[in-house]
Amino acid sequence: MVVQSNLSTLNHCSSIETRKPATVLDSIPSINLKDPESKTHIMKACEEYGFFKVVNHSVPMEFIAKLETQALEFFNLPQSEKDKAGPPDPFGYGSKRIGSNGDVGWIEYLLLNTNPQVTSLKTLTVFRENPEIFWSAVKEYIEAVKVMAFEVLELIADGLKIEPRDTLSKLLKDENSDSCFRLNHYPPCPELQALSGRDLVGFGEHTDPQIISVLRSNSTSGLQICMKDGVWVSVPPDETSFFINVGDALQVMTNGRFKSVRHRVLANSHKSRVSMIYFGGPPLSEKIVPLTSLMGKQEESLYKEFTWWEYKTSAYKSRLADYRLGLFEKKTHQVQAIE
């Protein structure tokens, strides 16, 4: 399906960046979940990249195709119809503005709560037209992706030698888990060709605050991740696989052994990009601290103790590109980092 952009002209001054062309990352860690050594490969990927691709997963392709079709049908509605599901509160429909602190992008999106006990009125509006079809597609997809996310977290626990092995996954399984689901649409931008090699930002650089994020996108490129040396690299799209991001919370829980990955999305001049992201977060009251079993006898925590609610509240008051964990690092670590 070809989706025509319904977004009005964006304020280019705040969404264009001059960049050197990013290199293409041809060595993305690819984890086969059926491989007996997958936990070892995941550990290495989390330590070196904070990012990896999952293949041979259990999510049915028909669930993916059904949800993408429903998402495109929604995003292809007249702007006035889509606006009935917005503005986001934070759930619901949004376009161009990302958060409330001045960030913008060439994007429109739907943010949905994955907790059935918490229903947003904006969410109900989204499913007003075809509630049975759209909502069932969302639920099928999320439930399948959750199972895969649990498996990934338990493999991480195995690799870290954490007991019990559901130490991480139970935080997402908890009925009070503060997880959410986002459908992003990056319309084609014909004006991009006139920007003379500059990039139009679809979604600005950031890390994800949660424990992990599970991303799936169509075959349109645009995703980039930042390497340890600060170089941005393009991630080749793979519509049959999933990409896993280490989040800020998991970085803290491993006391910095894993690093949350900084990433962004750039617009495409010809093709629409659709992505689906499950953000796996713990309950709001959960204390985010390094796991005791990972701490050596002489090892000190690099971070102050805080709850997920405290970190989430702080993160959403910041700009996308801010180093959000900086406020929660202990001063001794901050001094060492500067030196």
Q: Which residues pair with 54 in a beta bridge?
A: 31, 242
**Residue 14, pLDDT score:** 40
Predicted pLDDT of residue 190: 76
Q: Are strands 199-206 and 16-17 parallel, antiparallel or unpaired?
A: antiparallel
Q: pLDDT digit string (tens) for 269-320?
A: 889 999 999 999 999 999 999 999 999 877 899 999 999 999 999 998 999 9
Looking at residue 339, its pLDDT comes to 43
Say how far apart CA 203 and CA 264 lie, in whole Å: 6
Q: Looking at residue 191, what is its pLDDT?
A: 74
Report pLDDT for 87.
Answer: 87
Give the chain's domains with CATH numbers. 7-317 (2.60.120.330)
Catalytically active residues, by annotation:
273
Q: How far apart are CA 302 and CA 321, in angstroms?
A: 21
The segments of the chain whose pLDDT lies below 70 read 1-26, 116-131, 192-197, 332-339
Least Cα distance to 218 among 183, 173, 189 occurs for 183
pLDDT of residue 334: 52
Tokens of 249: 């919370």
pTM of the model: 0.90
> Chain centroid to CA 271: how far?
21
Residue 147 near residue 58 (C-beta atoms within 8 A): yes
Which are the contacts of 87, defined by CB distance < 8 A and separation ≥ 6?
93, 94
